[in-house]
Structure 1
Amino acid sequence: MQTGRPSITALGVAAARAAHQEIEDGRVFSDPLAARILGPDAGDPAFETSFDAANEMARLVVTARARYAEEALAAAVSRGVRQVVILGAGLDTFAYRSPYGPAGPRVFEVDFPATQEWKRERLAAAGIAEPPSLTFAPIDFERSSLAGGLAEAGFDADRPAFFVWAGVVPYLTPQAVLGTLAFIAALPRGSGVVFDYLDPPDTLAPPFRAAHEARAAWTAANGEPLLSHFAAEDLVAQLRDLGFRDIENLDYHDVCTRYESGMATPPPGAGAHVIAATI
């Protein structure tokens, strides 16, 4: 990660969202702020593949995951949750285009302090207003815990909350992942989380394992090594042990085909899943 800006993978996600609006007219996931917040990085050669018309599978994965996460978030709001936490927010735009208005949930964006400062500069340059419902929670995890950092930002641990944790878990240790899930599980009934994770490489068929290894090498070369993998059955069992219920565990193929039949989709067994779970 380059200090003071989102990781290369977070920027790649933003580029995929922006490209989807341009190439597929946002039909899977509408994000009118994606290109604006990406700003000058949209022209970075590192993101040219996102705007390649032939690279629709990668765009579909990013946008289908985002739609799934925001539908899970909407379900939480409909059952009365009024705190939303975006973990590893990067260039996420939910808070700035929230459909709920002033009466909607309070949104906490969690990220490294320097990254959030960079994002706020980017927002100002793009003319995107920071809504009153948004609270930035800059957390240096070497000096503060998630619980402590959220508490300092005004998060109420006595009220339910919903956590969106997209594109982050594979870059954390298993201990950090399970610790965060334990924190969420300790919140009041009605709380929940949506996140994605990778299967253990040794469980993948050879073509998928080769693709995984190539991806892992690329992220490691950019300072973001893959640190955790989970077997689906084991992870679901751990979630249940923590107290989660109503667990939906889908692989990327199922998530993508739920929203789109006309674009190239990842095949079953490609090695990545998305989970939504509530307490």
Structure 2
Amino acid sequence: MATRAADTPLIPMLIAATESAEPSGNRLLTDDLAIRVLPLGLRPLVRNRTTRGWLRKVMEREGPGLWDSLACRKRYFDEQTDAAVRAGVGAVVVLGAGLDTRATRLVAAAGIPAFEVDLPVNIELKRRRITLPDSVVQVAIDFETQDLATTLAERGYRGEATTLFLWEGVTQYLTEKAVRSTLETLAAAPAGSRLVFSYVRQDFLDGTNLEGCERAYRRFVAGKGIWRFGLLPADVPGLLAEYGWRELEQVGGREYVDRFLEPLGRGAEGVPDLERCVTATKI
């Protein structure tokens, strides 16, 4: 599995493509475009039932339940996006879009403008793999050095629009300064906007709550140290309140099992709670 921050968008998309290839009664999510953003050499592995099982076993070496955790994270973000689109949100901004196809699959058909913000290398890679609808605008940025509001405005984003901000699998790669800088920008969003983001638990980064994921800790934290920012669940509402947001919901391992896995007869072994998802509203 990849370890550089610029490589990591491949991992969740490999999981999305693999889940989508499963029979409908056993899959956690459906993303028909996911396989198209994968390298050509990986696509046959996804199409073959035996090698799909092997891919899952490779991922599980990092920690038991991590495959389901990432798949459930993507399922959660899909559901929140679908709900916001049906509620009539005015725009969608995907922060750190990577190779994700959510804007194309769930937003474009509704005629809602979407802005995919990411590193130039990831934007160029996606351009080579799939053709985006005209309503999906790619925005190249380095979150550590460039101003998000200015960069979005230059690409046509209207700040007065009620907006859904999606920030999936990104915050752990940033410094606290970059996280807060992004939240400062989002503080200007109009009331009623939504923010959905994920974060890694601080006690995992501290090494005090590894939940059987020691190998993932060595790879992403102790080794190359590419996971840098974390939170404790109880600290999330306070952080959001500093920037005018109110937490609506927070989900993790237990909720993933109850909502997504048990209805499919999966998840009996549990899911680690090292990464959580949050939905918030602008007040």
Verify same fold: TM over 0.5. yes
2:17 aligned residue: 18
Match of 1:50 among 29, 50, 55: 55
Match of 2:67 among 39, 59, 68: 59
Conservation of the 8 A alpha-carbon contact between 1:20 and 1:59: no
| SS of equivalent residue, structure 2 residue 9 | helix
CA deviation vs aligned residue, 1:188-234 (integer Å, no higher than 9, x gap): 0111111111222279996x426455313213588561111111111
- Are 1:78 and 2:86 an aligned pair? yes
1:52 shift after superposition: 4.0
2:125 aligned residue: 118
Looking at structure 2, the residues matched to 31 and 253 of structure 1 have their Cα atoms a distance apart, in angstroms, of: 24
Instruction: Output aligned runs, 1:101-140, within 5 Å.
Output: 101=109, 103-123=110-130, 129-140=131-142
2:164 aligned residue: 162
Match of 2:201 among 199, 202, 205: 199
Conservation of the 8 A alpha-carbon contact between 1:171 and 1:224: no
| Change over 3 Å in CA distance of 1:62–1:39 after alignment to 2 | same
Looking at structure 2, the residues matched to 118 and 222 of structure 1 have their Cα atoms a distance apart, in angstroms, of: 27
Query: Could you tell me which amino acid in structure 2 is paired with residue 113 of structure 1?
Result: P
| Change over 3 Å in CA distance of 1:58–1:42 after alignment to 2 | farther
Match of 2:189 among 184, 187, 190: 187
CA-based RMSD: 3.2
CA deviation vs aligned residue, 1:135-186 (integer Å, no higher than 9, x gap): 0111134552111111111111121211111111111112211221232232
Conservation of the 8 A alpha-carbon contact between 1:61 and 1:256: no
1:174 aligned residue: 176
Query: Could you tell me which amino acid in structure 2 is paired with residue 198 of structure 1?
Result: V
Conservation of the 8 A alpha-carbon contact between 1:12 and 1:50: no
Match of 2:278 among 264, 275, 278: 275
Query: Could you tell me which amino acid in structure 2 is paired with residue 272 of structure 1?
Result: E
| Change over 3 Å in CA distance of 1:164–1:202 after alignment to 2 | closer
Instruction: Output aligned runs, 1:202-241, within 5 Å.
Output: 208-209=209-210, 211-219=212-220, 225-241=226-242
Match of 1:98 among 98, 106, 128: 106
Looking at structure 1, the residues matched to 207 and 140 of structure 2 have their Cα atoms a distance apart, in angstroms, of: 40
Conservation of the 8 A alpha-carbon contact between 2:16 and 2:71: yes
| Change over 3 Å in CA distance of 1:158–1:38 after alignment to 2 | same
Conservation of the 8 A alpha-carbon contact between 1:198 and 1:273: yes
1:95 shift after superposition: 2.5
1:126 aligned residue: none
1:132 shift after superposition: 1.6
Conservation of the 8 A alpha-carbon contact between 2:207 and 2:217: no
Looking at structure 2, the residues matched to 277 and 147 of structure 1 have their Cα atoms a distance apart, in angstroms, of: 20
- Are 1:148 and 2:150 an aligned pair? yes
CA deviation vs aligned residue, 1:15-55 (integer Å, no higher than 9, x gap): 1111112245473211011112213252699x985344995
Conservation of the 8 A alpha-carbon contact between 1:253 and 1:266: no
Percent sequence identity over aligned pairs: 31
1:60 shift after superposition: 2.2
Aligned residues: 268
| Change over 3 Å in CA distance of 1:104–1:57 after alignment to 2 | farther
Query: Could you tell me which amino acid in structure 1 is paired with residue 111 of structure 2?
Result: G
Query: Which runs of 5 or more structure 2 residues have no equivalent in the other structure?
Result: 46-50
Looking at structure 2, the residues matched to 10 and 265 of structure 1 have their Cα atoms a distance apart, in angstroms, of: 28
| Change over 3 Å in CA distance of 1:52–1:231 after alignment to 2 | closer
| Change over 3 Å in CA distance of 1:147–1:263 after alignment to 2 | same
TM-score (norm 2): 0.81
| Change over 3 Å in CA distance of 1:222–1:18 after alignment to 2 | farther
Query: Could you tell me which amino acid in structure 2 is paired with residue 71 of structure 1?
Result: E
